[in-house]
């Protein structure tokens, strides 16, 4: 594990399952795992930054030639799959997405994939991650990035329990220095860094998916509440009140309550 690891979520069984459920949601929403506009040859090299359980990379491995090199990077190996389940062309390695890229990886990759790195972006400073991706990519290489926009006007919130829980969660975001306006501004920031943005899509999942995506949102915050309170921020209510808000939301989901973010997907190319 990298020495600078301050990831706010756990890396346990439930968290792994949440990440893999969200992967399936993204596939439903986008209609693909790897964007079909990205050209793939037998020599293509692909990096997955913040790989977690490696689910995106392992899914891609079933869709590309077996000679394609697939490398997953994460600040911790706590969720990496067991070696018995890893194809020979897939490799996992510890690396901090906020750090400089090691010399042996500079401009090595034709494709870089990023998903849900919002929990490591403090005060909207996403530029270190952008530079990390820039260093990994060859000139002309593709960046596929998927993120969730949790700003208030980009959330679907249905029901008083969901409203009450989001009011609490907002205090937690502030306690951890999380802001989300950078997500909508990502195309501008990538252009400024030397990327050509080819496609930017920001919309919500279909209404029929509301219960499932709400449950994954809730699971994220079951893990996140501990991090909120570890911050010691004085604005937070007593812990038992937060737990009661969460329990009320979970009960209300069965009655039609919903809370989930706008899904943002982006395809860019590293300019010459």
First to last CA, the chain: 34
- Whether 211 is in a domain gets the answer no
pLDDT digits (tens, 9 = 90+) for 157-174: 999 999 999 999 999 999
- For 58-102, write each residue's pLDDT tens digit: 999 999 999 999 999 999 998 899 999 999 999 999 999 999 999
Number of independent structural domains in the chain: 1
- Kindly indicate the confidence band of residue 51, based on its pLDDT and cuts at 50, 70 and 90: very high
For residue 195, pLDDT over 70 is answered with: yes
Q: For 216-245, how does the pLDDT look when each residue is reduced to its tens digit (9 = 90+)?
A: 899 888 878 988 998 899 999 999 999 999
pLDDT, position 21: 83
Q: What integer best gives the mean pLDDT of the chain? A: 92
Domain that holds residue 85: 13-153+178-205+261-270
Q: Do the domain assignments include residue 189?
A: yes
For residue 5, name the pLDDT band (cuts at 50, 70, 90).
very low
* pLDDT band at 3; cut points 50, 70, 90: very low
Q: What percent of the chain has pLDDT over 90?
A: 76
CATH code of the domain covering residue 114? 3.40.50.150
Give domain status of residue 114, yes or no: yes
Q: What is the model's pTM?
A: 0.91
Say if 162 falls within a structural domain: no
Tell me how far apart the alpha carbons of residues 272 and 265 are, in angstroms, rounded to a whole number: 23
SS3 assignment, position 144 = strand
Could you tell me if residue 30 is inside a domain?
A: yes
Comparing CA positions, the residue from 88, 33, 93, 26 lying closest to residue 57 is 33
Please report whether residue 102 resides in a domain: yes
Contact 266, 197 (CB under 8 A): yes
Residue 7 lies in a domain: no
Instruction: Look at residue 251 and tell me whether its pLDDT is greater than 90.
Output: yes
217 inside domain: no
| Residues ≥6 apart with Cβ < 8 Å to 48 | 54, 56, 57, 60, 70, 71, 72, 73, 112, 113
Query: Where would I find the beta strands (DSSP E) of the chain?
Result: 45-49, 69-74, 90-94, 109-115, 137-149, 155-158, 195-203, 258-270
């Amino acid at each position: 594990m990298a020495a600078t690891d301050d990831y706010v979520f756990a890396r346990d069984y439930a968290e792994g399952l949440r990440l893999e459920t969200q992967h399936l949601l993204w596939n439903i929403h986008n209609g693909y795992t790897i964007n079909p506009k990205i050209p793939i040859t037998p020599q293509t090299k692909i990096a997955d930054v913040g790989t977690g359980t490696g689910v995106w990379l392992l899914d891609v491995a079933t869709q590309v030639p077996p000679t394609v090199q697939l490398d997953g990077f994460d600040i911790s190996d706590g969720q990496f799959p067991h070696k018995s389940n890893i194809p020979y062309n897939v490799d996992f390695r510890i690396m901090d997405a906020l750090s400089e890229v090691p010399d042996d990886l500079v401009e090595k990759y034709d494709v870089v994939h990023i998903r849900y790195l919002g929990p490591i972006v403090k005060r909207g400073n996403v530029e270190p991650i952008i530079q990390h991706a820039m260093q990994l990519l060859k000139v002309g290489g593709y960046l596929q990035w998927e993120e969730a926009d949790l700003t208030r006007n980009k959330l679907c919130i249905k029901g008083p329990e969901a409203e009450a829980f989001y009011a609490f969660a907002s205090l937690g975001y502030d306690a951890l220095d999380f802001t989300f306006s950078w997500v909508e501004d990502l195309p501008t920031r990538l252009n400024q860094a030397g990327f050509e943005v080819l496609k930017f899509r920001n919309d919500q999942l279909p209404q029929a998916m509301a219960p499932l995506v709400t449950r994954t949102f809730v699971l994220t915050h079951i893990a996140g509440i501990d991090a909120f309170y570890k911050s010691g921020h004085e604005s937070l209510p007593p812990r038992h009140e937060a737990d009661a808000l969460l329990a009320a939301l979970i009960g209300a989901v069965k009655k039609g309550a919903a809370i989930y973010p706008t899904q943002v997907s982006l395809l860019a190319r590293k300019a010459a």
